[in-house]
Structure 1
Amino acid sequence: MIIFGTKGYLYQLAILTLVCGRCGNPSAHTLRKRVTKFTLFFVPLFPFSTKYQTQCTFCGAEQKVTKEQAAQLEGQAAAAGAGQPYGQPQQQPYQS
């Protein structure tokens, strides 16, 4: 008897400040990577599906992005967050 299946993994790659395409608010968006791996006897062997997406923390809207777009967004987050602890909110200018 052979036992096989799949297992999903979710990785949070970065937190970005973007303007949401659905609600129009400039808010934090999480960049996530979802990997599905083939398992044999409950041991994950190799990934067969990798998907990237962003999610607005204000309205919850999700948007799929390509691997290239995800790499570019992750690079922007690393450059913008240089010197700041991971996940800290960025200061926005006050408008009255």
Structure 2
Amino acid sequence: MCMRFLRAQAGATPHDKRLIGLIGELSTRNEDFRIRSAAHDVSVHRAGAKTLHHPEVGLLLLGFEQLTLDSASSLTLSTYIAEPGSPTPERLQFFAAWTAPAV
């Protein structure tokens, strides 16, 4: 999935020297990256669901939506939403409490 985003970003900003350098370096150093990059699999999903696994809080099921910024069309703002009543909001609260600095 990340390869798709990377390829989509490269297509949207073809003159980005840092991105071109990153893709070149990854292509020369990582065979798996080279194979996946050669697939030319490009897609951008502006909304959907993500499943994440955190080693301390467990499985997180999140809906997401990406918003394109009018002032910089190559940038997007991603929002993630936990389904109310599911275990995810409780796990996120635990994570927030666990990572909060001591007062």
TM-score by length of 1: 0.28
Q: Which has the higher helix share?
A: 2
Q: Which has the higher strand share?
A: 1
TM-score by length of 2: 0.26
